[in-house]
Amino acid sequence: MVNQPPPPFSCTYSPNIPELIAQLNCTLVISTYQAGKVIFISAKDDESLVQLPRTFDRAMGIAVDGDRMAIATKDEVIVLANAPGLAKNYPKNPGVYDAMFMPRLTYFTGQVDMHDLHFGQDGLWAVNTSFSCLALISEAYSWIPRWQPDFITGLHSEDRCHLNGLAMVDGRPRYVTSLGTGNELQSWRKTLPQGGTLIDVETNQHILSDLPMPHSPRIYDGHLYLLLSATGSLVRVDIANSTFEEIRKLDGFVRGMTRMGDYIFVALSKLRQNSSTFKDLEIAKKATSAGIAIIHLKSGALVGEIKFLASVDEIYDLQILPGMRRPGILNTKNPVHKYGLSIPNATYWARDEMKK
Q: What is the pLDDT of residues 141-166, one digit of tens each?
A: 999 999 999 999 999 999 999 999 99
Q: Where are the domains of the chain?
A: 11-354
* pLDDT recorded at residue 2: 58
Which residues are paired to 144 by β-bridges?
A: 136
* pLDDT recorded at residue 5: 84
For the chain, give the mean pLDDT: 95
Place 349 in a pLDDT band, splitting at 50, 70 and 90.
very high
In the chain, count H helices and then E strands.
Answer: 3, 28
Evaluate if residue 354 carries a pLDDT over 90.
no
Q: What is the pLDDT of residues 208-228, one digit of tens each?
A: 999 999 999 999 999 999 999
**Any idea which fold 11-354 has?**
Neuraminidase (2.120.10)
> Cβ distance 300 to 323 under 8 Å?
no
Place 4 in a pLDDT band, splitting at 50, 70 and 90.
confident
Q: What is the mean pLDDT of residues 43-69?
A: 97
Place 90 in a pLDDT band, splitting at 50, 70 and 90.
very high
Q: What is the pLDDT of residues 121-138, one digit of tens each?
A: 999 999 999 999 999 999
* pLDDT recorded at residue 290: 96
Q: What is the pLDDT of residues 269-297, one digit of tens each?
A: 998 766 666 767 778 888 889 999 999 99
Distance CA 92, CA 355 (A): 9
Evaluate if residue 355 carries a pLDDT over 80.
no
Place 71 in a pLDDT band, splitting at 50, 70 and 90.
very high
Q: What letters, b where the CB count within 10 A reaches 16 and e where it falls short, cover 59-84? A: bbbbbbeeebbbbbbbbbbbbbebbe
Sign of CA dihedral 200, 206, 208, 209: positive
> Cβ distance 236 to 257 under 8 Å?
no
